[in-house]
Structure 1
């Protein structure tokens, strides 16, 4: 998620053997931000535009957000992390604009690591969240109203930062809920979110294929609180760690659970 973009942005360097454990047996090589970050050429436009040319359905552009890139990199210490986040935001904004110019009307700016960067000292947390939200909005603020902005967060406690999530002003936010068994939904009972919400209905970090019934239970639990017209059904996270067999089987079950939900709640797409 980070190395791909870092290789295409100015200001990044990479090691050959600087592996860091992510989780379990999964390891990553965090890039080194040594200089000013800048966009040089389109990074994802060619592939995304090609995919869009093969279907009449919308294809989503996918970018890693500025805070996640920063938090998953070794950063320079001669300027503040806030300044680095803004440099990343300005660079990524040019990619967002390039995707939009190529006809991509749905763009996701992933921010799974926003919570990871939250300072341990409570008095520092408000300031961090303020500039983290600002960096996200700098990334997306120039698109047309017709372009739908998505973001995604996973496997964190979000209850005490719901207001900041709302302030990010994404048209759709997708959040992990399968491991917490929908506990996060309680936050939306207390804080109305006026835009689209996608709650993950199965755990992609497990090889187990979830059945339709358990995903249906998660959907029904969410729709006791959320507006069905604004609800998105999706996996918890990306599928790159899963094999093709389990991926296809899980997605087929998810599609069937979605079909049943549309029938139950009389929704049309």
Structure 2
């Protein structure tokens, strides 16, 4: 958790529940900050406010990085998908990033495919449904109650005279994701994922090395990685969408009933579109 003082302006308060806000005292509930980032360029997407007659206390949880290339198009595809997958599984090497991990050390600099990060962010995206019209009276009362406290405790917010607290309800897309990689250097892969802020982003991470060292074709994802993912998450193969850069993996995992898409040039929004379309067809 981080302090409100760690955030940069502008701040927009978005309250998701006013059920207990009958007076100035009491709990307001959950809230969301929109369009706000701290010094690490990370969106502040969730907080909890406690309002009393004397003070306003808040805690905020740091969320995903600010949207990157491909994010908007990927989000639109996922939100409009006729049959969204219950789980999206990615290979790492030459799928999310353009190299083999074994060619690097954990201290090296590296890069992703241009649209990889945006696609991952889209899978975890939260949208807001504005309910302010139906909450007009509570909205005005809450605004009048909070502005003096905010001005006193957080003068750097520079709230205008007519600042309102927007009443919203969060609606999560939040598609689970997993990693299935047979890298012979899982320590490097873990280090790179940590640098990217990915720990906790994926619901299952299967870094199962190839059985014969650097022979990438000896690790069988259909008998090792995917059974482990299924045991851990309990999601049927038919509800999974998988992206990989090697044809043998695609063929074998497809036989499990997983919608599997070959990405010969790495992950992109176009490949995501192809995968979502194929997943919808497979469900008919």
Which structure would you say has the larger RCO, counting Cα contacts within 8 Å and 6 or more residues apart?
2
What TM-score results when the alignment is normalised by the length of structure 2? 0.30
Larger Rg: 2
